[in-house]
Structure 1
């Protein structure tokens, strides 16, 4: 075979091999498909991760639900639910708190295991929540408290009817455009106050003062524990109230003291002290005078507060007394029987300030945390919270219009609230130090007086709450201010042991 034939044979063989490879090419495809199981394995991983994520989310939801479990607090309900879970009602040495925690743990485990709470727990919880919608948490009171509330309700409704009728007649007879001018005319009377005299009233600072219902006398409560009665005309000592062991924080006259109330009645004057006692005093000015002490009065003691007492107020009916103190409670007392009718909790800090609505229906209390509350004395319920002061509420007073209340505090602000709107209507940066006392003008409330530790006494227009007049006594920390009904005499007290009479 020559070379040409050999070369032709080699080419033919190569073409034959290529042809065989091309015919076997489809058999390669199954070999390429051997990699597909790897892709399927990756998909299974994704599904498993997704299921794991869903399971985690489910557990998180169950844990959130477990944290919100409303476990009962009554011992009988706790034991009943433990019994229904097939658990021992109690273990040896187990306290009520531990038993309740054990029930919570068992319910949580049941929820995590089965994804739901026991059927009996759902039914009881829904039943209890339905009851709570219309349930009040009330203190059990004595029978005298019910009678007192009925009397207060009758008096307040009568007073409210008179007040509303007076306001209606005023709207019919007085042009609204002239009201501003009336306020300005009234405030002209306070433009020319000047110090007439001053007097040392106590061996320590004077805490509070108040003017008697007949407008002739001033009563002061002192840091020494001694309270005194002074003649406003000449600042002379008329009588002393000796009995408290330490600082007196408040003093109040009975609404009919020195008028129709007998001088021998123990309800003429009430005082409150840091010795945890309230004293009710006679006010007989015809007794034999004791040298340097005036005439001493007799007293009876009311006890119940567990910490110092900051404030006492006579109710308008003259039969009840209200006190409030550092034990975070205010209390209602029956003067005639010297009985504690009720103890009201609700504040988280010491109650320092309080004032009564002019109708006698509502009581405002303010605490050292800056929280205030209006209480309805006819039903014993807190009806309106006052939130706004950033420090303690130290002073408060209701306007005679029945819907404005002014509060002052350790934040140096005066806030004026409208209880109809249930909100503050004016924020006044009144002083550069704490506001110690507030008083609306008696009878008409056409202006507001504020006293402060900055030494200033300020008068505010009750129409627009603008500043009208300022009176200053330097280096004096004023503790109280009061003014007579005829607006001719103003009296201030301070920590410098003196009271000052302004005319």
Structure 2
């Protein structure tokens, strides 16, 4: 029995080293087993960062990068940059495989379509452009915003695009016809983020007015508003199952909201400065965030505990792979790091 206890203590100590956590949170051995099994793949990937901080740096002549996102199959990354280009990267080789050129100003955001065949990007040139992800060729351009377009997202079925702009409007576009099908007005402050709900019927937006608003697309009206943040809300995104919304704010907190009750259910604290992004993993078990405090943090949704902290200077964007095993981050010095 004493020998078994000793072995268990060795295992726990090793796990704690991998997870960078203190023993204080451990209530019983069953909790350790549950947490270990749930995140074993993720932790095994991230433990490399304990030794060398980053496992890969993508090579290329890049300017300030605004965003990075994984492809649906997790084999590629798309980045948007101050050099007015959209770049597609192969994760395995770490090399650029396509560069999409055509924007006339900084490219603020880019995202793969749900089937991975298209890329949508938006820019300070007031346009949204659609690219063939395989050839890198521009195939469509959406015009209508009167100022720079800062965020763009595909609907879950890939048939629509939602965008927000410095013109303080949210617009919904038909991918096939390029037609603007909805416009949401009424904001008096900057809109920082927009995203479709998983069923494609709602849009969530966040703003410098400290609020999160969920919009009914069909009626083009506000469905409800979530209040609680004490400063600018930089991000608000639905969970994959549509039951929750995660938000990040300049008030240094990440909050989880229940969609049905419209109430805050968890508050994740730990960042020492403004939270610039927060998003769920695809299985809704993890939230990844980054902050002006120069850290990327990973959070266990069930417990609200911080799982991992990765330190890197000048972070401007972060994403988590579809399988939850890898993180990509970008920086204003033009580098992209793969953690895993």
Which deviations, in whole Å up to 9, do the C-alpha atoms of 1:336-372 show, x marking residues without a partner? 1111112111322121112222222221001122121
Partner of 1:424: 264
Instruction: Name the CA shift for 1:500/1:421 in 2 (closer, same or farther; >3 Å).
Output: same
1:497 is aligned to 334
Could you tell me how far 1:239 is from its partner in structure 2?
A: 0.4
Q: Aligned partners of 2:177 and 2:113: how far apart in 1?
A: 16
Distance 1:180 1:378 in 2: 46
TM alignment of 1:19-34, pairs within 5 A: none
Q: How do residues 394-473 of structure 1 correspond to structure 2 at under 5 angstroms? A: 394-442=234-282, 444-473=283-312
Structure 1 counterpart SS, 2:37: helix
Q: How does 1:19-58 map to 2 (within 5 A)?
A: none
- Distance, in Å, in 2 between the alignment partners of 1:423 and 1:236 is 44
Normalising by structure 1, we get a TM-score of: 0.57
Gap runs ≥5 in structure 2: 1-29
Shift of 1:431: 1.2
Larger RCO (CA within 8 A; separation ≥ 6): 2
Q: C-alpha deviations, 1:281-339, integer Å up to 9, x for none? A: 12334xxxxxxxxxx52343211111111110111122111111111110010111111
Separation (CA, whole Å) in 2 of partners of 1:391 and 1:363:
21
Other structure's SS at 2:242 match: coil
Q: After TM superposition, list the pairs within 5 Å mapping 1:322-341 onto structure 2.
A: 322-341=162-181
Q: Which residue is equivalent to 2:38? A: 186
Shift of 1:181: 6.0
- Corresponding position: 1:204 with 2:63: yes
C-alpha distance in structure 2 between counterparts of 1:179 and 1:334, whole Å = 47
Retained in 1: the 8 A contact 2:183–2:220? Answer: no
Per-residue CA shift, 1:172-231, capped at 9, x if unaligned?
A: xxxxxx999655522233334122211255532110111112221100000121110000
Please provide the CA RMSD for this pair. 2.0
Q: CA offsets, 1:9-62, max 9 Å, x none?
A: xxxxxxxxxxxxxxxxxxxxxxxxxxxxxxxxxxxxxxxxxxxxxxxxxxxxxx
The two structures have a TM-score, normalised by structure 2, of 0.84
The structure in which a higher percent of residues are helix is 1
2:119 to 269, 277, 300: 269
Indicate how the Cα distance of structure 1 residues 370 and 409 shifts in structure 2: closer, same or farther if over 3 A, else same: same
Query: How many residues in Structure 1 have an aligned counterpart in Structure 2?
Result: 304
Partners of 2:61 and 2:188 lie apart in 1 by 33
Checking the alignment, whether the CA contact within 8 Å between 1:439 and 1:481 is kept in structure 2 is no
Q: Is contact 1:308–1:326 with CA below 8 Å preserved after alignment?
A: yes
Q: Does 1:278 align with 2:118?
A: no
Cα distance change, pair 346–200 in 1 and its aligned pair in 2 (3 A): farther
Instruction: Tell me, in whole angstroms, the C-alpha distance in 2 between the residues paired with 1:359 and 1:432.
Output: 35
- Greater mean alpha carbon deviation, residues 384-393 or residues 212-221: 384-393
Matching residue within 118, 122, 137 for 1:297: 137
Secondary structure, aligned partner of 1:191:
helix
Deviation of the 1:387 alpha carbon: 1.6
- For 2:20, the equivalent position in structure 1 comes to none
CA deviation digits over 1:47-87, x for unaligned, max 9?
Answer: xxxxxxxxxxxxxxxxxxxxxxxxxxxxxxxxxxxxxxxxx
Q: Is the 8 A contact 1:305 1:327 kept in 2?
A: yes
Asked if structure 2 preserves the Cα contact closer than 8 Å seen for 1:440 and 1:448, the reply is yes
Matches within 5 A, 1:216-227: 216-227=75-86
Report if the CA contact (8 A) 1:437-1:479 is conserved: no
Contact 2:194–2:206 (CA<8 Å) still a contact in 1?
A: yes
Any conservation in 1 of the 2:288–2:320 contact (CA below 8 Å)? Answer: no
CA–CA distance in structure 1, aligned partners of residues 273 and 296 of structure 2: 12
SS across alignment from 1:347: coil
1:202–1:224 contact (8 Å) kept in structure 2: no
In structure 2, the CA distance between the partners of 1:422 and 1:180, relative to structure 1 (3 Å rule), is farther
Q: Which residue of 2 aligns with 1:368?
A: 208
SS at match of 1:185: helix
| Structure 1 or 2: more strand by fraction | 2
**Preserved contact between residue 454 and residue 477 of structure 1 (Cα < 8 Å):** no
